[in-house]
Every structure is written in structure tokens, then in C-alpha cells.
A = this chain, B = another copy of it.
Amino acid sequence: MATQMQQSFTRAPTTTKYNAAHPVCALGPEEISYASELIRSLWPEHTDLRFKTITLDEPPKALLLPYFQAEREGRSLPHIDRKAFTSYYIRNTDRFHEAIINLSTGKVENNVRLGANIHGNGDYEEILLIEKNALEDERVKAEIAKLNLPEGTVVCADPWIYGSDGMNDDERLYQVFLYMRDPSNPSEDDSCHYAFPLPISPVLECNTYKVIRVDLLPTGKDNTIKPTSAWKPVPPNEYISEHQDLRKDLKPLHVVQPEGSSFTIEPTGNNTMQTISWQKWQFHLHYNAREGPVLFNVQYDGRPLFYRVSLSDMNIPYADPRQPFLRKSAFDLGDAGAGAMANNLQLGCDCLGNIQYVSSTIADDKGTPVPLDNCVCVHEQDGGIGWKHTNYRTGRAAVTRNRELVLQTIITVSNYEYILAYIFNQVGEFTYEVRATGVLSTQPIDHELCGENGEGVPWGTVVHPGVLATHHQHVFSLRIDPNIGSLTEGNQLVYSEAHPMPIDDFNPHGTGYTATDTVVTHSSGLDLAPDANRVFKIVNPNQKNKINGKQIGYKIMAPPFQKILSAPESFNYKRAEFSSNNIYVTKYADHELYAGGWYTNQSRGGTGVRSWANRKDDVAGGKHGEDLVVFVQFGINHIPRIEDFPVMPCEKISVHLKPVNFFDKNPGLDVPPSEQVFNKSTKAEEVAHQQGGSVEMEVGKGGECCGTASVNAKLQKLDI
């Protein structure tokens, strides 16, 4: 979970006027403290509360949109009260509440106890307690003893969200998976314990956080649970560098920006929100504990594109049908909080070039503000050639490079990492990129099933002796609240398809084909159809392109993926309301932000985007002025390769949003040409000369090779 929560909050309090900040500023430290004070004041003295969430209660669109309009038109800005949303337990009970706190008036406007099967997310302090209590439990110790582990072996506990199976899981629970560190190297705190999974899984409840049950894990081809027996030694499988024979032939590559970056960041409200401007793009960057970075009021060259963009949800169901694994189905945003789990990004480690870091503040379980340093890094990168044409008649090449702006956040969810990035370019294109990396969540498997002649199991891959990495799906939901071309006019969702023309006198050879657009009139879930070249577009039906009469719009380029494999009657399917279509379109409603529902921990389903889409609301937009929201799903069915262990090479997946007849020509024609005087590249031989002949090969005008140099090269190679 969060890697920064250890830190105590040290910033000297500054005086914030709770009305002064921009309405999309995240809650500042003082606002968080004030919110928790106000909630405590509702309860008898010494009532101990465990806060699960204290975050900005975003203003309803009916208030925020006029604010953006006033900003746009330079009119005086309407007043919007600052409000906080909180969810909390009476500590050591199952009494779970949510409340809205008006920070401007100092009043709690709403404070309700939530009903059955609504549970709060995990929090860092709780996770540590679960680890401790699981390992200190006598029944657990007794089972571990049966393993006859070598003297000094360190056992680790990975707490897991319990999931749902409808079997005695009404109360909030944790399941814990046990591992050990390399027994031959017990002092290595960063030993990869996922190479040593143990067949013991304690279950804890969340009032006293005590073990209520110790599950033993099936390790064969069937459901058989064998009694815990002596551990069979296996070699370690470490990822940390001191355990590797590192490559010595990689030479440094620096990204140097002698004049700094091309973007500007203007902070607001003690840096609780940033307004970022770059290459005609402008938007507000908001950050919260659940979604991490959120973009508001995204504009290009002053033209509105998106009211709000964020990663809405994520689900990772696993393929092993046996207890307790069948419950492994994580919702990293709702169960734990993507924003809360952000890494503290380090200069020169997580990105190259000229970097600016953005920090934020979240609340801990006591309602105390906690800093999240460097949770977003902002930098530019070179994206290769932007466009090129060579006139073969004159030989003149016109070429630009594609400079990109990247906002990167890296989250660690226990064993796993996600690298999340918003990427903007110079031709009005916007990309959301996910890189999946980190360590696979592993489980023990009998040695007979492993090795060159082992048959394994069909729901997972053996990645190390005695170690199974179970297949799992990653399903992501990107929420796009568009306002293409206007803050006020409605948008439409349209899909374009290409179809062959009938063979007739007009199409005698059967070579003709056409592109047709279909308007999505009602909220629904829809799918891609690569064989029809189906592409979804968000258009503004009230604004036509002056040159070709097409509606201005943006197309959504998302890769097809296999939808959730769990059966429709399963809790996996019911809970992951965004997992069964590529696209959902809904009529806008305040607070419908999270595709899997507001409370995902041990959820039962029925509260997410599938349900909203099923309202069949009119989303035809345009003149009716209906306001729609589009959820774009993408994902990976991760059939693990052994190459994904002990740490997984990044698997990259992206959603692109590209203008379609939004501009009147290529909007990047004004990007300066790509020229050596600006780019300052070097030829191999020049660099070589700079450093005295360490040259691989020398290429002369005609392309012939200089023998001596190539001999040097061989010597040079041997030197390495």
C-alpha cells in the first residue's frame, strides 16, 4: 500500500481562507484537520474514530461549470462553498459512516451510518496491524512451525482485500498470504519473498483485527488440502541489483534541456491545485487519494475539450477457481486508493530530463494530514518524428519532432506497480498510458507439477520452483467527461464504421467502401468491432467544421481486450460493473465518478456504470442539451510468462484521443522544423573523436568503412 504514509506531517500550518481556494483545489492540510475536528465534535468526547476518507467533495457541475465559464469570460467568479467528503468508522466497531462537511460554514451537512455490505477501504495503519496480528497469532505460528523453516527465517504477511463469495463474508475481513524471505540470507530486507510462498492463509476480522480462521492452501491440481509439512528448499530469485551480474556495456543517455522545460505550472491554494500550460494545452491538475491525478477543464488553444478526466476504476480478478483464491479480485482505487499509494518519485530514477514534481496531501486514519511528496512528475519527452514529407522533385524534407508533455504517477499496490501517465502532444492528441510492472502475486504449487517435465496447472504459470503465478485480468476504466468545443453545448457519442459498397453499376469492381456514423441515443454499454473498423467519437453536433461540414469531435482509439471471464452470476462479474463492455456512455450525474461503485471493498455490485448505463437515459445530446459521460475500458488478460518474474518488464497499454475534423488542418504545422542547430545530435565518429578513438566504426561520405577504426572497435569491445 502507500509507501509514504510513514512520514509525519511536518509543514508549518499556514492560514488558509476556506473560501479563497479554487473550487477544484484538493483539500489542504488545514482543511483536512478542520474536517476531522468537525466530525469528532459530533460525537461524545473520547469517541475514537478511524477515518477512511477525507477528500474534497467536488462541487456539483451546476456550480462548477458556471465558475469555469466566468473564468473563461473574465467575469467575477461565483462563490462556491468548500466541502469535504469523509467516510469513517467508530474505531473497533463495524459502524461505518459517511458525511459531507461544509468547510466554509463549519457545518456538517450530512452524517449517516451506512448499511449492510458497505465497507470502507483499507488504510496503511490497518494494513500494518493486520500483518503484525497475523504473524503473532498462535494458530498461525503453530502452522508455520510445521514447515520446519531454517533457523532465522523471516516470514512476511501480504494482507489482501477479502473479496466477495457470499459465504459468511458480510463483515469486513482480510485474507493474508504468507511468504518467507530467502532463508540463506535472512538479513536481506529486500529479498523477494514472492519466490517463497507458504501454504498458510490467516483470515482476520476488522473490529479487533484478530485472526478468526487459518486457511490452508490447495497446492496441487485439485481442491485437496494437505496438512502443512516440512518446507522443501528452493533457490532464491532476487530482483535487486546487488544480486545480479550487472551489464557493463550500457553507456549513459542524458536528456538535456539547457533552457529548461516548455511548460509552466501555476499553483493555486497553497499548491493544492496546479494550472498547467504547454504548447496550446491548458488544464487544472487536481490530486486525490482515490484516483490520484485528475484533470479539469482541459482546453487546447482556448477551445474546451474535457470537463474532467480521470482513471475511474481498476479490477484484477484471478483465474484460480479454488478457495480462497476465487476471492482474489482487487479494486485498487476503491479498496485502497491509487492516489494514496503513489511513490515518492526520485530525480533521475523515474524519468529523464528537466523534471518538475508536484506534491499533495492526504488524510490518515486519524484524520491527520499526511504529505505525499513528488506524487506526480511533470516533464517533456521526445516522441520521435511528428510528421515528415520529402518533396522528391526538390529533395527538400520538411520534418518536425513530436514533443510530448507527460504527467506521471507510479503506484505500488503491495506486490504490484502501475505507471500511470497523461500524455499530451503538439497536434491536439491526448493519451492515457498505463504500464503494468512490479511483482506477480504468487502462491505455492507442488514440486511434482514443476520442472521440465511438470504438467503445471491450466489456470497459472510456474515461474519458479514451487511457485505459481495465477492468470489474472487487469481491467481499467478511464472516465471522460467531455465538453468538446463548448462548456455548455451537449456532446454526442457516435461510432464510425467502414462497410463495402454493394456491387452495382456505381461500384462495378466491388472496390468501393464508405464510412458511416451512428449516434448513440441512449446510455448503454457498447463494444469495439475491429472487423467493421468501429471507432467511437465524441462530437459536438452544434459545431460543424467550416471546410467539410463534419461535426467537430475527438475519436477514442482504445485497444480491444478480452472482457471479464467470470460468469455473469459471479460476484466478480457483478462487482466489476465496468468489465463487460469497451465503452459505456451515461447521462451525467454528480458523484457518478467510480465505474465500480463508491464502495468497492467486499461490494455486492449494482452500484456502478453498468447500472447507470442500464437507465437507458437519453444521451442524444446536442439541442436537447443532455450531458453525457464516457467510460473507456481497456485491459490485459495476464497469462504470466516466466519472464514476468521476479519482476515484470513493463507491459504498456494506451488509450488515444485524437481530433477528428476539430481543426481546419494539421494543428502542428506551426511546430518549428526539426533541425540540427536545435537538436544538436552527434555522429558516432564525432563522439568517438571527442573521447580519443573509442569508436565502433567510422563511416565516410561514400559509406565505406575505415579498417583501423573497426579494429579499434574490436579492441574496445574486449576492454569492456
Distance from A602 Cβ to chain B, minimum over Cβ atoms (Å): 14
Which B residue sits closest to A529, measured CB to CB? B562
A419 contacts across to B, CB distance below 8 A = 384-385, 388
A347 at the interface (CB under 8 A from B): yes
Instruction: Please state if A251 and B244 are interface contacts (CB–CB under 8 Å).
Output: no
What are 9 contact pairs spanning A and B, CB under 8 A?
A165-B509, A252-B259, A318-B511, A346-B397, A355-B682, A373-B701, A381-B384, A511-B572, A533-B637
Indicate if A114 sits at the interface (CB-CB under 8 A): no
- Whether A353 contacts B253 by the Cβ 8 Å rule is yes
Q: Is the CB–CB distance between A704 and B271 below 8 Å?
A: yes
The distance in angstroms between the C-alpha atoms of A664 and B240, with both chains bound, is 17
CB neighbours of A548 from chain B (8 A): 450-451, 454, 456, 461-463, 642
Which residue in chain B gives the minimum CB-CB distance to A560? B530
Chain B nearest Cβ from A197, distance in angstroms? 15
Given contacts A247-B671, A347-B683, contact A512 B559 (CB under 8 A): no
A37: interface (CB < 8 Å): no
A417 on the interface (CB 8 Å rule)?
Answer: yes
A70 within 8 A of B: no
Residues of chain B contacted by A90 (CB below 8 angstroms): none
Chain B residues near A506 (CB-CB < 8 A): 222-223, 321-322
A415 and B398 CA atoms in complex are apart in Å by: 13
A267 and B710 contacting across the interface, CB-CB below 8 Å:
yes
Residue of B nearest to A272 (CB): B703
Pick from B399, B428, B515: contact of A349, CB below 8 A.
Answer: B399
Is residue A260 contacting chain B, with contact meaning CB distance below 8 A?
Answer: yes
Q: Which of B250, B427, B676 is in CB contact (< 8 Å) with A643?
A: B427
**Complex contact A666–B239 (CB within 8 A):** yes
Cβ-defined contact, B565 with A500, below 8 A: yes
Is the beta-carbon distance between A647 and B387 smaller than 8 angstroms? yes
Please tell me if the beta carbons of B239 and A351 are within 8 angstroms of each other in the complex. no
CA distance A663 to B464 in the complex (A): 12
**Across-interface contacts of A203 in B (CB, < 8 A):** none
Interface assignment of A583: CB less than 8 Å from any CB of chain B: no
CA distance A701 to B371 in the complex (A): 10
Known: A6-B395, A245-B670. A382 touches B451 (CB 8 A): no
Is A264 located at the chain interface by the 8 A CB criterion?
yes
- Closest residue of chain B to A566 (Cβ to Cβ) is B511
Cβ-based interface call for A150 (8 A): no
Copy count, this protein chain = 2
Is A189 in contact with B699, judged by CB distance below 8 angstroms? no
Q: Which residue of B lies closest to A568 (CB)?
A: B510
Tell me the minimal C-beta distance from A658 to chain B in angstroms. Answer: 7
A518 to B675, CA, bound (A): 51
- Measured CB to CB, the closest approach of chain B to A695, in angstroms, equals 8
Do residues A258 and B252 form an inter-chain contact, with CB atoms below 8 A?
Answer: yes
Interchain CB contact under 8 A, A570 and B509:
yes
- B244 touching A697, Cβ below 8 Å: no
Chain B residues near A615 (CB-CB < 8 A): none
Contact with B along A245-268 (1 / 0, CB 8 A): 111011111111111111111110
A373-B703, A684-B261 in contact; A412/B390 too (CB < 8 A)? yes
- Bound-state CA distance A572–B508 (Å) is 13
Instruction: Select the stretch in A478-486, A618-626, A686-694 that faces chain B.
Output: A686-694
Given A398-B241, A641-B661, A687-B260, A696-B412 contact (CB < 8 Å): no
Knowing A247-B672, A649-B666, say if A513 contacts B319 (CB, 8 Å).
yes
The interface residues of chain B lying within 8 Å CB-to-CB of A642 are 545, 547-548, 550, 661, 663-665
Closest Cβ of chain B: how far from A7's Cβ, in Å?
Answer: 10
A507 to B591: give the CA distance in the assembly, Å: 36
CB neighbours (8 Å) of A249 from chain B are 262, 279
In angstroms, how far is the closest chain B Cβ from the Cβ of A699?
6
A402 at the interface (CB under 8 A from B): yes
A710 to chain B, nearest CB (A): 6
In the complex, chain B residues whose CB is within 8 Å of the CB of A386:
649-650
Q: In the bound complex, what is the Cα–Cα distance between A459 and B511 (angstroms)?
A: 11
Q: Mark A440-468, 1 if CB is under 8 A from B, else 0.
A: 00000000001111111011011111000
A110 contacts B by Cβ under 8 Å = no
| Cα distance A463–B464 in the bound complex, in angstroms | 57
Nearest CB of B to A160, in Å: 14
Among A359, A395, A427, A679, the one with the most B-chain Cβ atoms within 10 Å of its Cβ is: A679
Smallest beta-carbon distance A156→chain B, Å: 8
A218 to chain B, nearest CB (A): 10
Roughly how many angstroms separate A594 CA and B484 CA in the complex, as a whole number? 45
Contact of A390 among B3, B10, B320, B545 (CB under 8 A): B3
Question: Which residues of B lie under 8 Å from residue A394 when comparing CB positions?
Answer: 189-190
Residues of B within 8 A of A681 (CB): 254-255, 347-348, 351-355
Stretch in A76-84, A204-212, A431-439 with 4+ CB within 8 Å of B: A431-439
By the criterion CB–CB under 8 Å, are B389 and A691 in contact? no
User: Are A511 and B643 closer than 8 Å at their CB atoms?
Assistant: no
| Cβ A509 vs Cβ B321 within 8 A | yes
Q: Which residues of B contact A533 (CB under 8 A)?
A: 561-562, 637, 639
| Cβ B463 vs Cβ A650 within 8 A | no
- Which residues of chain A (523-547) have a CB below 8 Å from chain B? 528, 530-533, 535, 544-547
Give the residues in chain B near A326, CB-CB below 8 Å: 508-509, 511-512
> Is the CB of A317 closer than 8 A to any CB of chain B?
yes
A29 to chain B: closest residue by CB: B702
Quick check: A387 and B648 within 8 Å, CB to CB?
yes
CA distance in complex: A299, B665 (Å): 45
A-B CB proximity, top 5 nearest: A321-B512, A510-B567, A348-B676, A359-B703, A462-B548
B385 touching A435, Cβ below 8 Å: yes
Chain B residue numbers with a CB within 8 Å of A435 are 384-385
Give A190 Cβ to nearest chain B Cβ, in Å. 5
**Per-residue contact bits, chain A 233-246, to B (CB 8 Å; 1 contact, 0 not):** 00001011100111
Chain B residue nearest in CB terms to A2: B392
Q: How far is the CB of A608 from chain B (nearest CB, A)?
A: 18
CB–CB A352/B385 < 8 A: no
> Which of B237, B251, B320 sits near A665, CB closer than 8 Å?
B237
CB-CB contacts below 8 Å: A649-664 with B: 649-650, 658-664
A396 to B189, CA, bound (A): 10
A695 and B264 CA atoms in complex are apart in Å by: 9
List of B residues within 8 angstroms of A401 by Cβ: 352
Whether A643 contacts B670 in the complex (CB less than 8 A), given A326-B511, A352-B679, A515-B458, comes out as no
Q: State whether the Cβ of A516 lies closer than 8 Å to any Cβ in chain B.
A: yes
Contact residues in B for A290 (Cβ distance below 8 Å):
none
